Every structure is written in structure tokens, then in C-alpha cells.
């Protein structure tokens, strides 16, 4: 039986998670179950400091859930709500892990194929061929994996409604213009760029990265006072650490710091 996803742990603090269902890369029931296990493994492993969520091949990131499996999924979970709660919890765990995550968007990135990346720290899109959207309206339904909420937070209510109600798909450059993604690259370079970004983030001081990610989580809906409290918590988290000492010594010695040696 084919593994639903591929998991690679590199020596540079980066892990790569790839959907293994080329060319459609559907988010099957087995894929979601295995992704949950892998996310827990990444969260528990201090040697993994950043990770990339991508897909095998270069045709599509993901066409979303295999809709034919919906009845079986609800049966396994016990109810409609339990089924969707499993997916909401999974994306939330990625979002709040305290480790940077980078998603690559290429080809079809539809439904869950956009909702999963919306829970990642950064999204990079292909310059050509990407079709990014939440097309559930065309199926007589609505996003169910947190897509409407996260998209509205990311680009604003009006733009999110325009995408969702009209079942619009965006190209990579259009997604960059709206703020859905942070970078656009030629498809041939996209995965390498995502891995390079993850490696760059993995070289940053681990606890400081976690502190900033925690401090700014859901920043759009928190007061300045709450954000300042989060910032102070990050300061206390990093105060006196080996990385803080290394950063100060590197500054005084006029050299590049080397973090995460403890």
C-alpha cells in the first residue's frame, strides 16, 4: 500500500512533508491521519526547527479532500462535527506549534488544499499554473477546515467574501497581490526556495523564534496590551539562554552567530 505522505528529516533542522498521491495529491482519510502523526513528531523533536509542507511531483499541490470518502470519514469520527474538528485541530496544531512552516502552492490548491496552507507561517506560490481558491460554493457548500476564518483574517472580510462567494481561483501573482502568499517563484524553483527559507529560519535561535510566533499568534484580534504581554513573555523565554549569549558574543566579536548548539 502506498504511503499517503513522505516525511524527510534533514540534518539542517528542516523537515519536509510531501503528499504522496501525484498528480492530484488528494487529502485522503489516511493522509490526514498520517499528517497528524507527523505533526506531533515534528512538534516533539527539538532538532526539527522548521518544516515544509509540499506535495510529490509538480502538477498539483492538492485538489483537496477526496469527497467520495466523506461518508466513511464521518463514520470513523462518529459525527459530522467530530470529522471536521479533527481537521481543524490538525491545522491549529501546525499554526500554534511555535515552529515556522512553509507551504508550496502550485497547480490546483483547492478547498483543503488551501485551508491547510492557510495554517502555515508562510505560503510560497508558483509563478505559473497555480489555481488557488475555496470552490465549495460551486458544490453547494462552504469551507469547513477553517478556510473562511483564516482567509478573512489574512486578506480582510470583503476580499475573502469575494473569493468564497464567487468561487474564484487565483494565480500565483494574484495571490501575492492580495496577500494570500508572501512570495512567488517559477515552478521549477519553488520547492528549493521553500526549503532554503526553512533552512534560513532553522538557523535562527529556536526559543526566540518560538517566542515571536507565540507572541504574534492571532495578532489581528488581540489588543496592543495583549501583544505586549506576549512580547514580554518571549523576552523572558530567551533571557539567559545559550543562544542569547552566543548572539551577544557574536555581536561583540563582529562575526555571524551560530545558534542552536545546545
- Report pLDDT for 223: 84
Q: Are residues 129 and 213 in the same domain?
A: no
| Pair 21, 58 in one domain | yes
Which are the catalytic amino acids?
A: 115, 136
DSSP helix, strand, coil percent of the chain (3-state; round to 5) = 50, 15, 30
Per the structure, how many domains does the chain have?
2
Q: Is residue 234 part of a domain?
A: yes
Whole-number Cα distances in Å, 70 to 28, 65, 73: 9, 8, 5
Domain assignment present for residue 94? The answer is yes
Taking the CA atoms of 122, 99, 50 and 64 in sequence, report the sign of the dihedral they define.
negative
Q: Is 202 within 8 Å of 99 (Cβ atoms)?
A: no
Claim to verify: residue 221 and residue 115 sit in the same structural domain = no
Walk along the chain (262 residues) in steps of 10 and give the mean pLDDT of each run.
92 97 95 97 97 97 93 92 95 97 98 97 98 95 95 96 97 98 98 98 95 89 87 91 91 92 76
Q: Which domain does 239 fall in, by range?
A: 206-252
Phi, psi angle pair for 126, to nearest 5° = -75, 140
Are both 150 and 234 inside the same structural domain?
no
Same domain? 132 vs 229:
no
Residue 221, pLDDT score: 79
Asked if 44 and 122 sit in the same domain, the reply is yes
Q: How far apart are CA 37 and CA 40, in angstroms?
A: 5
CATH at residue 114: 3.90.226.10
Question: Is there a single domain that holds both residue 197 and residue 240?
Answer: no
Question: Do 155 and 221 belong together in one domain?
Answer: no
pTM: 0.93
Q: Are 22 and 59 in contact (CB under 8 A)?
A: yes
Residues 18 and 77 in one domain: yes
Looking at the structure, tell me whether residues 29 and 124 fall in a common domain: yes
pLDDT at site 1: 65
**Strand 14-19 with 50-55, pairing:** parallel
Q: Does residue 86 form part of some domain?
A: yes
Amino acid at each position: 500500500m502506498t504511503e499517503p505522505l513522505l516525511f524527510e528529516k534533514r540534518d539542517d533542522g528542516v523537515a519536509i512533508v510531501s503528499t504522496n498521491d501525484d498528480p492530484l495529491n488528494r487529502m485522503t482519510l489516511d493522509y490526514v491521519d498520517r499528517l497528524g502523526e507527523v505533526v506531533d513528531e515534528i512538534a516533539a523533536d527539538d532538532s526539527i526547527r522548521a518544516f515544509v509542507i509540499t506535495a510529490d511531483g509538480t502538477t498539483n499541490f492538492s485538489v483537496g479532500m477526496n469527497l467520495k470518502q466523506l461518508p466513511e470519514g464521518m463514520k470513523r469520527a462518529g459525527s459530522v462535527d467530530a470529522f471536521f474538528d479533527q481537521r481543524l485541530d490538525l491545522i491549529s496544531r501546525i499554526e500554534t506549534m511555535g515552529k515556522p512552516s512553509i507551504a508550496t502552492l502550485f497547480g490546483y490548491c483547492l478547498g483543503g488544499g488551501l485551508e491547510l496552507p492557510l495554517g502555515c507561517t508562510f505560503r510560497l506560490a508558483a509563478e505559473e499554473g497555480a489555481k488557488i481558491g475555496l470552490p465549495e460554493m460551486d458544490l453547494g457548500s462552504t469551507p469547513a477546515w477553517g478556510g473562511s476564518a483564516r482567509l478573512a483574517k489574512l486578506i480582510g472580510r470583503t476580499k475573502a467574501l469575494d473569493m468564497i462567494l464567487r468561487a474564484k481561483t487565483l494565480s500565483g501573482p494574484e495571490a501575492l497581490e492580495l496577500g494570500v502568499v508572501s512570495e512567488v517563484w517559477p515552478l521549477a524553483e519553488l520547492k528549493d526556495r521553500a526549503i532554503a527559507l526553512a533552512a534560513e529560519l532553522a538557523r535562527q535561535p529556536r526559543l526566540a523564534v518560538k517566542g515571536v510566533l507565540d507572541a504574534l499568534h492571532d495578532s489581528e484580534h488581540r489588543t496592543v496590551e495583549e501583544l505586549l504581554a506576549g512580547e514580554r513573555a518571549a523576552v523572558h523565554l530567551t533571557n539567559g539562554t545559550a543562544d542569547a549569549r552566543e548572539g551577544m558574543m557574536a555581536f561583540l566579536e563582529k562575526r555571524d552567530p551560530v545558534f542552536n548548539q545546545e
